[in-house]
């Protein structure tokens, strides 16, 4: 169970907090507490949550940490994330680094970063019982700069404010966290072109993990070169997918 914030938090209070923000996107984002107690955002314009309503932390941990990062079981891992969103996958990865399990080079693609106001209100760090990470987390999520940040706590972070369709790097990642909105909402994120780019970005032996298990997505990944396996999904989902770039 995710350590929850101190005291009960009324959803009306949260709605008022977000509505009072001056950010122009507030009308499209609203807070959502998921089944494991952790918070996420819902894009009301798309009618799509950033994480599973069955548990944001449970989903991210199962799909991206357990079946991605920890599956490789390496002392150093280079991560490429497609869809940084609220930064939850980043934080869960960073915590593994701070626990001494590995060091990570983390590159995130996010053309539409979440505002500092929304990130502060969600306060993932407190929810995960790592309040000391709040300041460095907020810095990396909101202060855009050229090149990566200096390593801190075993993790080197770089945010690229670009679309995945523009990504052209080769052999730069050991694991890809593919965490875009689902195919019905963002079909342009699940195309043959995108998965070919992801296949090229992986080193031999690397893996791409995603919560999505649709047959069409699996076949598109296979056509791009991946060896794809169906795995048990997180709570609320029967399956997820992991694609490997064979050596």
**76-107 pLDDT per residue, tens:** 999 999 999 999 999 999 999 999 999 999 99
Domain map of the chain by residue range? 54-244
| pLDDT at position 27 | 53
Helix 215-223 with 192-201: angle, nearest 10 deg: 50
Q: With 70 as the cut, is the pLDDT of residue 25 above it?
A: no
User: In the predicted model, what is the mean pLDDT of residues 4-27?
Assistant: 36
Is 14:121 a contact under the CB 8 Å cutoff?
yes
Average pLDDT score over the chain: 89
- Identify the band that residue 14 occupies on the pLDDT scale cut at 50, 70 and 90: very low
User: In the predicted model, what is the mean pLDDT of residues 213-232?
Assistant: 98
Q: With 80 as the cut, is the pLDDT of residue 4 above it?
A: no
Residue matched to tokens 């995130």? 108
User: In the predicted model, what is the mean pLDDT of residues 215-228?
Assistant: 98
What is the spatial distance between Cα 20 and Cα 10, in angstroms, rounded to a whole number?
A: 16
Q: With 90 as the cut, is the pLDDT of residue 201 above it?
A: yes
pTM passes above 0.85: yes
The DSSP secondary structure of 6-38, one letter per residue, reads SS---HHHHHHHHHT---TTGGGEEEEE-TTS-
- Identify the band that residue 20 occupies on the pLDDT scale cut at 50, 70 and 90: very low
What is the spatial distance between Cα 73 and Cα 207, in angstroms, rounded to a whole number?
A: 12
CATH 3.30.360.30 at 54-244, yes or no: no
| pLDDT at position 13 | 32
User: Which residues of the chain form beta strands (DSSP E)?
Assistant: 29-33, 39-43, 48-49, 76-82, 103-109, 155-160, 173-178, 202-210, 227-232, 239-244
Q: With 50 as the cut, is the pLDDT of residue 238 above it?
A: yes
- Residues 119-151 have pLDDT tens digits of 998 999 999 999 999 999 999 999 988 899 999
């Amino acid at each position: 169970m995710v350590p929850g914030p101190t005291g009960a938090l009324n959803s009306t209070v949260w709605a008022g907090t977000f509505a009072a923000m001056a950010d122009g996107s507030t009308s499209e984002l609203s807070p959502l507490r998921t089944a494991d107690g952790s918070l996420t955002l819902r894009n009301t314009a798309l009618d799509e949550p950033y994480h599973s309503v069955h548990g944001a932390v449970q989903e991210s941990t199962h799909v991206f940490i357990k079946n991605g990062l920890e599956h490789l079981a390496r002392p150093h891992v280079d991560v490429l994330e497609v869809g940084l969103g609220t930064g939850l996958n980043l934080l869960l990865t960073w915590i593994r680094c701070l626990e001494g399990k590995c060091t990570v080079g983390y590159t995130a693609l996010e053309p539409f970063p979440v505002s500092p106001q929304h990130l502060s209100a969600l306060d993932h760090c407190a929810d995960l019982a790592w309040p000391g990470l709040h300041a460095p987390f907020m810095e990396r999520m909101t202060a855009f700069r050229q090149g990566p940040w200096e390593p801190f706590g075993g993790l080197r972070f770089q945010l690229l404010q670009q679309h995945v369709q523009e990504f052209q790097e080769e052999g730069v990642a050991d694991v890809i966290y593919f965490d875009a909105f689902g195919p019905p909402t963002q079909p342009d994120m699940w195309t043959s072109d995108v998965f070919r780019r992801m296949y090229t970005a992986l080193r031999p032996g690397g893996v791409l993990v995603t919560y999505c298990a649709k047959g069409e997505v699996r076949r598109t990944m296979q056509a791009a070169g991946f060896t794809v396996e169906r795995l048990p999904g997180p709570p609320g989902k029967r399956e997820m997918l992991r694609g490997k770039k064979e050596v």
